[in-house]
Structure 1
């Protein structure tokens, strides 16, 4: 048989198979009306050789059930993790409202992120504050302006990775792979909270920002009175 003839035959077989497949999809009760066919049909199985259609359907069904069980388990694990996160953040909000100084604010943040959420690095810094703040709360000169222009083009939250220079600016004592950066204030003019993680995939642009936005809003309201009253101990 010539190659051309083989190609024509293969094309005809594909067309025929397609028609049969379409018919079976449109008539899912076909084998109910012809049960005798189920016993004579054979399908190749990778491990068991030729098996009946019924056996093959049972195998596929068992595999699908196992897959669905894995998916349900994964969803339940995610749900439990989300519930834990919500609880930690809720407790943090309440504790922040009790703070009377920046050091107390930092203690609350570190208790939640470092101890409960295993975030090894945290940085809270203010822009152009007239107060004599401790070095940990300030940027040197205008070193932060390039970071602001690069990471906050159209949003007040940045999730992702930083350059080596940006890491040193925010976390001079830590090697951080991914961060959440939150601008504070009505227009992001007050300062920045930076949360760092060693896992490069922990903070990603596509992740949900509901909890960090709530934290951003609370800090933006809480911090100005503390600065205004010079309570920076």
Structure 2
């Protein structure tokens, strides 16, 4: 019979009996693991270090989730205030003015605009830019060229990023909401446009915007 100890068998045994060392302090004290530097560290210390690293990672994830939650709360409140303001719109022009103000003051965007389709010759102006950006979906978030920034917001020739959501009347697209920033990384492709979509949906139902 082969009495040689197989390391794999020892590992398997310890995995199946994780409490084996709990009541054997003498044995535990004799076990050491390399620590990547001079000397060695006890198994318990190594386990504590691993748990501490996992705890730090968990805390970091919790902080990130908390920050996301706070930002979503802020955006929800901004959407509520903006919708209440838009209910006072008397026509499309008034709605455009209200949104431009709310986008900057309430949402904290660098710039904002509300584009109404049919106000420029086909293939020209902001409507054309919106069509290009949202040709596959009804929304867009990401970097755009300096020319597109100037066409949408009337600013100087600067590259930047935008978030766009189409305004619909039933199945018909009648316009688009947009926010923009001179920072090309402010609005990213992986970012959603959920709150912008909510406001665009409300605008599409307002009698003043029909």
Report 1:71-82 matches (<5 A): 71-82=61-72
Q: 1:208 to 1:194 in 2, by over 3 A?
A: closer
Is the 8 Å Cα contact of residues 102 and 226 (structure 1) preserved in structure 2? yes
Is the 8 Å Cα contact of residues 177 and 196 (structure 2) preserved in structure 1? no
Is residue 97 of structure 1 aligned with residue 80 of structure 2?
Answer: no
Give the TM-score taking structure 2 as reference length: 0.80
Give the structure with the larger strand fraction: 2
Q: How much does 1:41 deviate?
A: 0.9
The residue aligned with 2:96 is 106
Give the structure with the larger helix fraction: 1
**Structure 1, residues 24-55: CA drift from partner, whole Å, max 9, x if none?**
32332232364432101112224673111112
Give the TM-score taking structure 1 as reference length: 0.73
Report 1:41-80 matches (<5 A): 41-46=31-36, 49-80=39-70
**Structure 1, residues 41-76: CA drift from partner, whole Å, max 9, x if none?**
112224673111112222222232233223222222
Is the 8 Å Cα contact of residues 156 and 188 (structure 1) preserved in structure 2? no
**Structure 1, residues 69-112: CA drift from partner, whole Å, max 9, x if none?**
23222222221121111111111111111222344423432333
After superposition, the CA RMSD in angstroms is 2.7
State the distance in 1 between where 2:67 and 2:60 align.
11
Q: How many residues align?
A: 202
Is residue 212 of structure 1 aligned with residue 196 of structure 2?
Answer: yes
Report 1:128-167 matches (<5 A): 128=118, 138-139=119-120, 141-144=122-125, 147-167=129-149
Q: Secondary structure at the match of 1:190?
A: strand
State the distance in 2 between where 1:148 and 1:114 align.
20
| Unpaired stretches in structure 2, ≥5 consecutive residues | 1-5
State the distance in 2 between where 1:206 and 1:71 align.
19
| Unpaired stretches in structure 1, ≥5 consecutive residues | 1-15, 129-137, 229-233
The residue aligned with 2:115 is 125
Q: 1:48 to 1:81 in 2, by over 3 A?
A: farther
